[in-house]
Every structure is written in C-alpha cells, then in structure tokens.
Copies of this chain bind each other. A is one copy, B any other.
Amino acid sequence: MSDEWSLNPSSPVPLHRQIYDYMKRRIMNGEWPVGTRLPTQRDLAAKFQVNRSTVVYALGELSADGLIAARVGQGTVVANNTWSLLAASPPPDWNRYVTSGLHQPNLQMIQQINRAEANPGFLRLGTGELSPELLPTDQMKQVFSGSMSSRFSLGYSEPKGSLYLREIISAYLQTKGIDASPASILIVSGALQGLQLISLGLLHAGSTIFVENPSYLNSVQVFQSAGMQVHGIPMDRQGIQTESIGRLKRQHNAALLYTIPSFHNPTGVLMPSERRGELLQTCIQERLPVIEDDVYGDLWLDDPPPPPLKAGDRQGLVLYMGSMSKTLGPGLRIGWIVGPEPVMERLADIKMQTDYGSSSLSQHAVAEWLSSGLYEQHLHRTRAALTSRRDSMLAILSKHYQELAEWSIPQGGFYIWLRLVQPVAMRLLFEQALTEGILLNPGAVYDRQDQQHLRLSYAYASLDELERGLLRLAALIRLNSCREF
C-alpha cells in the first residue's frame, strides 16, 4: 500500500512494534478507514522485508486492540478506530465509492506494470520511454536560465494554450508538410489527454472506434471508460489493411479511426506512402474522421517517414496528434492536436473545464527547445543512440532467439514486436519474470486475444540490462513452452 515508509533496523524499538505503531497510526488518522483491506501477510512481510512471523505478531496486537479483524472472503480489514467506536454512526463506505465511479479501472496487468514501473528496481524490457540517460535533464536548466522573463507567464494560459508555443509548433509542423495556423492547434497535457478530450468532447457513448490490431489504444481505457467500443482492424507489414474498412464502417457505424502510421506501438510498423494514400482515400470516401497519432514520427532511424496523413488532408478530416513525450521527456506532459478550428475550440472549452490548461513551465520549455534549435540537435543525438541500441538488441536476438521467435527490423521508434513461435503460458511467464525482477509487456496489453507476442523496447533499459534480461527471458520462455497449460 504505502510506498515510502520503512522500518528502522537500528532503532531500539522491536520490529514488530514498529510495524504495529505504523499501522495503528494510519488507521487512527483515517488514512486507512474502517473497511480498508490490508495486504496479505506474505505481501506485508515482503514490503517490510521481515519474517512473516514478525508481521503475524504485529497483526495479532492490532487485532487484540480491535482495530483489525478477519472477514470471510475479504482477508483482513480495518474494523475500528477509536473514533469510529466513539461516533454514533459508522464511517462512510468508501469501498462502495471506489468501486462505483464511471471510469473503468485499468486492466489488472496494466496496473501491475504501472506499479512496477514506479519501482526503480525492475529491469524493464518493454518500457516505452527513453532511458533516463537519454533525456536532456541538464540541458533543461539552460533553457530556464536564459530568456525566461520576456515571454514566460505564471498565469492561467489561453484556452488553446500559449499562443507563443502554438506559433512555434505551427512552424515546426510546416516542416512535415502540415499547414496549420496557431488557431487550429490545441496544446494538451500529452497525447493521452488529447484522446481523453476527444472521447469527452466529440463522441457519444456507444460509438465505435476503429484501431489497428494490436494497438496502443487497447492499453489505455480512455474510450472504453467513456462507454465506447474499440474495434481492431487487421494489420500487415505496411500497417492497417484498408479493404475491409468500408464494410466494417457500415456494419458498426464507426465514429472514428485511430491510427499510428509511423513506428506503430506496439509493432514498430512504418506505413509506407502508398498505404497512407489508400487509407486517407478510404476514410474520405467513408466520411470517417481519423485520429493520426504521430508521437514517434521524429524518431526515424534510417530515413524520415513519408509525410503524415494530415499533410494530404484538405477537408479537415484528420485530427493530428504529436507529443514531446517520446523525444524530450514524458515528464513535460506537452502534446498537441491539430484539426478544424471549430473542433479545436470545442476541445479547448472542455480542457478548460478539466484542468484549466497545461503547465506554463512546460509550455515555455517546449517553446524554447523548438525555437532555439536545441530540439533538433537533441533529435540527432537521440537517433544515433537509438540506432545503436536497436542494432545491439537485434544482435542479441539473432544470437539467442533464432528458434524461439520471429521479429522485423524497426525503422524507427522504440519497439520490436517479438512473436514466439511456440505457444507459451503468457500470464505465467509475466508473473515469473516479475518475481525475478524483470518487467515484460505481453501482447495482451495491446490485443486482449494475443498470447504469442511480447513488446520489446530498446529505448529504456541499459545495454547491459537488455542483454542480461533477454538471456534470462529466453530461458524462461524455454521453460514455459515445455509445460502443459
């Protein structure tokens, strides 16, 4: 549960008593209200790094105090605190609140991944982020020591975001062949928030969204939580297949198509120019608006990708999304959506209602990086580093995964979509790896039906870790593919 407290082994207070004091305090001050379920004895022992008997002792005392109790089917729960004994009526049933919101909880496996990612101890073989050593943390200082006062404001920003930043992004988009004036650009707190705004602002509950199968979109609940269906469309090596879109659109009355044409998450696929043209034509014909997610577009390794769909969109059919998360740093929480002005105004109004705009510090930082040329320099370095990481990972795979798996060579982005040639008990593999401190991203995160892929990322872990992790993973795969299941 808590993520920061730890025992003090050099204290004269016995360990079981430290645990007792800690838990009692959290019960008494209402942080663990009556009804809160405690972790299992085993989990508590692991968390405190003590013997299970120490935990049992502490729990026994709490139980003798009447503060906790065992409940059938629920494990151990908080039963009382002094105040609940004094008060005439029992406290509110938070549990009922927690389970009754409109928003769906994340998939359990995704929650596990989120939690493990917050723990620096794990070796992460599939994480979709640049390694901390590739993020320009120090250079970020320079950006603030310079010209801050002139443009920078600590006030609430305009509904669509800082005009200064939008002007700079407008110029940056021009280099990709996208002609967008600042008024048709909306600054968002990352592309994910852009998707959230679209789900809240433009769609009915019950709408259907088409996505590539597999897709990043299945790893977030943003459309599902707003009551929408997500429907996967098959891919090949050129990206989403366009033939069936028309028929499916009529069948499902789809409201939107979401696509990641450049360095697709999780497959790494780059959609060639011809397929882009076909896709755009199909969507024009079917009057099917498109979300084009281009967060990996700047991370080409061999050659720049073809122009985005948006560059060929003269009808305002495409909502185009970009972000600084995969290049400059996800901590900035800055992305943008580009589309018809009335649509951006609607989304801006909802954004104002949601969080009153994005961090002005972050907006300022991004404007400085883009306008100074520092961003372009950083991309150069990043591409070089990713290219060498990709090549190292490919070398490891060639050496140790020949009979185990198949893969393609990504031309940009972060990912290798590893297809295991033998069936494997994927859930078990995930759990086993986790107990060994290795965090995996199984295919099911991106396609519920998938049982045979892993998303690998060469962007995050160090080369040493990648080698060590992939070796161990190969062994675990061998182990699991022999088992019956």
Contacts and interface: CB of A to CB of B under 8 A. Distances in A.
Interface in A99-146: 100-103, 105-106, 111, 114-115, 117-118, 129, 132, 135-138, 140-141, 144-145
Q: How many copies does the complex hold?
A: 2
Nearest to A460: B155
A356 B192 contact: yes
A241 to B, nearest CB: 21
A409 B203 CA distance: 47
A118 to B, nearest CB: 4
Nearest to A91: B315
Interface in A332-350: 332-334, 340-343, 345-346, 349-350
Contact of A114 (B89, B111, B140, B352): B352
B97 A331 contact: no
A329 interface: yes
Count chain B CB atoms within 10 A of each CB in A154, A360, A362 and give the residue with the most. Answer: A154
Contact of A284 (B89, B149, B160, B360): B89
A74 interface: no
A355 B318 CA distance: 22
A200 interface: yes
A159 B1 CA distance: 13
A358 interface: yes
A103 B32 CA distance: 33
A316 B105 contact: no
Given A97-B343, A137-B148, A114 B4 contact: no
A36 B331 contact: no
A145 B145 contact: yes
Most interface-central of A97, A111, A181, A316 (chain B CB within 10 A): A316
A180 interface: yes
Nearest to A26: B181
Contacts of A98: 201-202, 342-343, 346
Contacts of A343: 94, 97-98
Given A29-B314, A98-B202, A196-B353, 17 more contacts: A3-B163, A31-B181, A89-B284, A91-B317, A97-B289, A101-B346, A106-B349, A135-B153, A135-B155, A140-B154, A140-B361, A141-B145, A144-B145, A156-B325, A192-B356, A193-B355, A333-B358
Contacts of A81: 314-315
Contacts of A359: 189, 331-334, 358-359, 361-362
A220 interface: yes
Contact of A220 (B83, B180, B353): B353
Contacts of A313: 30
